[in-house]
Amino acid sequence: MGSHPLTYKAAGVNSEKKENAMPLLKQWVERSFSLRTSLGSVVLPLGYFANVIDVGNGVGVAISTDGVGTKIIIAQMLGRYDTIGIDCVAMNVNDVLCVGAEPLAMLDYIAVEDPRPDLLEQIGRGLYRGAEMAGVTIPGGEIAQIAEMIHGVREGWAFDLVGTCVGQVTLDRVLTGENIEENDVVVGLRSSGIHSNGMTLARRIFFDQLGWAPDHYAPEVGRPIGEELLEPTRIYVREVLAMLRASLQIKALAHITSTGFLNLTRVPSPVGYVLDKIPEPQPIFQLIRRLGQVSDQEMFFTYNMGIGFCVVAAPHDVAGVQRVASEHGVESHVIGYAVNDDRKRIRIPQFGLVGHNGAFHLER
């Protein structure tokens, strides 16, 4: 193991460079908004978890796209491909939920080095299981054979998997967090592990620095490290839809993925948050932190730290939110509250951190 703390950037993922380059792409994407000004017009600005298209009669189609990143490499290392489809469904339907929409269907795009029947059957099995859990259909997709372009850690088994989810929401019920007030409460729904983010950093620590094999048994997590990293991303559709239908005053929804709790700031309301009751995360997070000498700032930026989805609700409806979560077998925690803050800072007093401008820092 190296003597210096490892960061996501050092592991090969430069989030800062991506953010600096994004405006160059964004300027052209946003120009397309003017191409349709009535039926098919874009309802939200870029930057939220999903966008909404006006399809007439007060109905909106919510849409989002995402992949599963280098978690695919873990699947290749283990030779197990029957769960990665769950991750693909989860990353997409959880985002569509955040605008208050009900996910309806998801298309998949599979790029392969070699269209092996056993590989595709296992991917399909995971996609079906994810669709079953989310209550969506998979009405179509695409398989591309691009051996010249795609390579993995197991020759002939390289692939990439991306999905696009569509959902429905009435335009007067689109949820973006525009009416969050001071003292509104943040309820965190437990994650199943590190989900589908920060896998590059985890791989660098366990497999490159430590030299572990994917079947190396890690007593801290109670199973081989590869199995722990491959644990599917939790799908939050049924419990969140039940909350939305329960007449609870829900102000915002946030899928906690890369950049961690900074995802809470993707709202127009001029608020920040104090997250002062974050529960102990699953052991995998402590293992990554300790063995990789990863700082708290880096951990909270790269990982969900045990909370995979957040519900911002009015104080009088917090008990209702937690009741619905419990009815669906999901562990929930009150983890903090909103504060008036034009700078939209995220404070985590337990760790002396403040998040602002796309990063976490030690609070001075």
38-76 pLDDT per residue, tens: 999 999 999 999 999 999 999 999 999 999 999 999 999
pTM for this prediction: 0.94
Among residues 338, 125, 50, 89, which one has the least CA distance to residue 238? 89
pLDDT at 4 (0 to 100): 62
pLDDT band at 10 (very low <50, low <70, confident <90, very high): confident
- Choice between 183 and 17, residue whose per-residue pLDDT is larger: 183
* Tokens matching residue 311: 């519900």
- Asked if 139 and 105 count as a contact pair (C-beta separation under 8 A), the reply is yes
pLDDT at 290 (0 to 100): 96
- Per-residue pLDDT for 21 more than 90? no
**What does the domain layout of the chain look like in residue ranges?**
38-173, 185-362
Average pLDDT over residues 244-248: 95
CATH class of 38-173: alpha beta
β-strand pairing of 332-340 with 185-190: antiparallel
Rounded Cα gap, residues 48 and 269, in angstroms: 13
- Per-residue pLDDT for 14 more than 70? no
- Per-residue pLDDT for 101 more than 90? yes
* CA–CA distances in Å: residue 172 to residues 58, 101, 118, 168: 7, 11, 46, 12
Average pLDDT over residues 229-244: 98
Look up the CATH number of domain 185-362: 3.90.650.10
Average pLDDT over residues 97-115: 98
pLDDT band at 15 (very low <50, low <70, confident <90, very high): low
